[in-house]
Amino acid sequence: MGLDANVLQSLTEESAAAAWRIIIDRAVEIASKPLTADNAPSEVVKRDREIGALDHFLATSGWDLWSAFGDVVERTSDRLIRWWNEPFAARAVLILDGLSLRELPWCLQGAIERGFTLHEVAACASELPGETNAFARALGFNSRSQLQNNGGGINHKLQPSHTECVDLPWKDCEGLINSTPNWVFWHHWPDSVVHNAAGAGQGLEILTRDAAQQLSSDDFWAFVERLATGRRLVITSDHGYAAAGHFPDAEGEVARFLKDTFSSGRSKPGAGDTGPFVPPVALRINSPHGAHLMALGRWKWRTQGGNPTLTHGGLSLLEVLSPWIELSKPNSGG
């Protein structure tokens, strides 16, 4: 499915900031439509392909827009820090590790069905590359694990707060929330499933079915309600993920270059060689985390151990965009 001619014209004529706003708004529009448990596996693949038209533009005629991405699209870390300093009586952040725009419908449907007020639904940028500890460092933590058992310390940028980082069932997470006004809660799901299912041929289907179950469950929403009681709450993520198992196969010199450069990953530290290809299949990106070479667009390639079907760290929309859902529960003080 290609881009509408009017959209394509706007993307080629507008400033980088305006072009990125059009792209992100369109991606959120596609991804946020309601889902059901029955249609989710096929519908998520369909939407993935529709967003793929935007990725194709960004990997061909629009690849130069990536050089502006880190400057004109607000990073989730910066948005969180800015939001944290707004005058709420109490606040909480729930970071669902690896949550992508694919899972946005379950969050929106669940919130509305359970009487939450939605204040903002948007998408922000991951760090580049989109890696967990890069996001943690952007918030002033040494790593994700530092947050465990209120170990966040006094030097991070979401002060004051009680911190936690676990991979426990939602019911157990609910029991961890005490009366401390401000919370930063980082949960390993769904990234734990992304990596566990990455080697399976149907990795995206496994994760889609799990997301439908997890994000529609009473236990999850009881946990969210506990976090939102007396607090304004944001649900977001550190990065998304690429369903690389559905990407087309690179061939010939392109495949050899990607294999030699990235092995089974999608980024590597350093400036590196982007190869002779036009349009490029890799870009040098300079970010607050240093120079990295990052795989561009939707390609998969064979390696000795086999590449994961779900992964992150490269330049495609669903791995570098994170949902931003700000909500409260009426009469809860948030």
- Whether residue 304 is predicted with pLDDT greater than 90 in this model: the reply is no
Query: pTM to 2 decimals?
Result: 0.96
What pLDDT does 199 receive?
Answer: 72
What pLDDT does 1 receive?
Answer: 58
Q: How many structural domains are present in the chain? A: 1
Evaluate whether residue 38 is within a structural domain: no
Q: What is the mean pLDDT of residues 137-165?
A: 97
Q: What are phi and psi of 277, to 5 degrees?
A: -85, 140
Evaluate whether residue 59 is within a structural domain: no
Q: What is the mean pLDDT of residues 160-188?
A: 98
- Which residue bears the tokens 């004529």? 13
Name which residue leads in pLDDT, 7 or 219. 219
Over the stretch 249-300, which tens digit does the pLDDT of each residue have? 999 999 999 999 999 999 999 998 999 999 999 999 999 999 999 999 999 9
Evaluate whether residue 48 is within a structural domain: no
- Find all residues with CB under 8 Å of 292, minimum gap 6, and list them: 128, 129, 267, 268, 269, 270, 284, 285
Evaluate whether residue 60 is within a structural domain: no
Evaluate whether residue 65 is within a structural domain: no
Distances (CA, A) of 235 to 11, 93, 221: 30, 6, 12
Name which residue leads in pLDDT, 3 or 162. 162
What pLDDT does 12 receive?
Answer: 87
Evaluate whether residue 52 is within a structural domain: no
Evaluate whether residue 241 is within a structural domain: yes
Q: What band does 189 get if pLDDT is binned at 50, 70 and 90?
A: very high
The torsion defined by the Cα of 80, 142, 262 and 44, in degrees rounded to 10, comes to: -40
What is the residue range of 114's domain?
A: 76-334
- Which residue bears the tokens 């800015």? 82
Tokens (6 digits) for 273: 């060689």
Over the stretch 196-219, which tens digit does the pLDDT of each residue have? 877 766 799 999 999 999 999 999
Evaluate whether residue 14 is within a structural domain: no
Q: What is the mean pLDDT of residues 80-91?
A: 97
Q: What are phi and psi of 73, to 5 degrees?
A: -105, 120
